[in-house]
Amino acid sequence: MESQIIYYFHQYGYIILFVIGFFGIVGIPVPEESFFVYIGILAKNDKLSFSLAWLCLSTGAFAGMLTSYLLGRKIGKPLLERYGRYLGMSKERWRKFILHWDMKKSLFVGFFIPGIRQFNPYFAGMSRLILILFVLLSAAGSLSWTFTYMIIGYIISTYIKIDPEYLAAVGMILFILFVIQLIYKWKKSKKPLSRQQS
C-alpha cells in the first residue's frame, strides 16, 4: 500500500490527498482512518509534509461536508417527500427523527464513526441547520478527525507496529452500531404514529 500511495502522491501531489478527503465524506461509508494512519507513518519517514498532508485531507473533508450539506438543503427534502414512503419515512416520521437527533453533537463526534460522517451533512442540510454553525462544527471536526489518526501513525508507529486492518475493523463495527441505533430510533418514532392512526 505504501508504494501505491507514494506513486499517486508523486503523480498528482498533495491534490490527491484533498480528493481522498473529499470522497471520504461524499462517498460510500468506509473507514478512512487506516489511510490517515498510513499518511502519518509516511510523514514520520519524511516521505511527505505532515502539516501539508493534514491541511489537504482536512480541507478535502470539509469541502465534502459542505457539498453534502448543500445537496441535502436543496434536494434532500423533495427527494424524501417523493420517495420516502418507499423507505418507510413519512413526513411525520422524518420530523420525529430530526427532533431526536442531536445534530450539533453528532456533526463533530460523528466524524469518528463511518456512516455517521457521510449522512450527517445531508441530515443537517435537510433540517436547515444554520450554515455558520454547520461550517464551524464541520471545520473543527475535519481538522480533529484527520489530525487524530495522522498523529497516531506519526508518533506511535515508531514504537508499536500498527496494523491498519484493525482500525478498519473497528470503523466497520462502529458503523454497524450506528445502523442499529438508526433502526431502533426509527422503530421508536413509528410506534406513537401507528397508535394515532389506530
- Measured over the CA atoms of residue 50, residue 51, residue 53 and residue 59, the dihedral's sign is positive
Lowest mean pLDDT among 55-69, 131-145, 158-172: 158-172
Average pLDDT, the chain: 76
Residue 196: which pLDDT band, with cuts at 50, 70 and 90? very low
Residue 168: which pLDDT band, with cuts at 50, 70 and 90? low
- CB atoms under 10 Å from CB of 22, counted, come to 21
**181 or 20, greater pLDDT:** 20
Please return the burial class of 108, using the count of CB atoms within 10 Å of its CB with bins 0-12, 13-18 and 19+: middle
pLDDT at 21 over 60: yes
pLDDT tens string 24-57: 888 766 667 778 888 888 888 777 899 999 999 9
Lowest mean pLDDT among 13-22, 46-55, 63-72, 81-90: 81-90
Q: Look at residue 74 in the predicted model and tell me its pLDDT.
A: 84
Q: Look at residue 147 in the predicted model and tell me its pLDDT.
A: 96
For 137, residues 6+ apart whose C-beta sits below 8 A from its C-beta are 104, 107, 108
**117 or 178, greater pLDDT:** 117
Residue 151: which pLDDT band, with cuts at 50, 70 and 90? very high
Sequence spans of domains, the chain: 2-190
Q: What is the DSSP letter of 135?
A: H
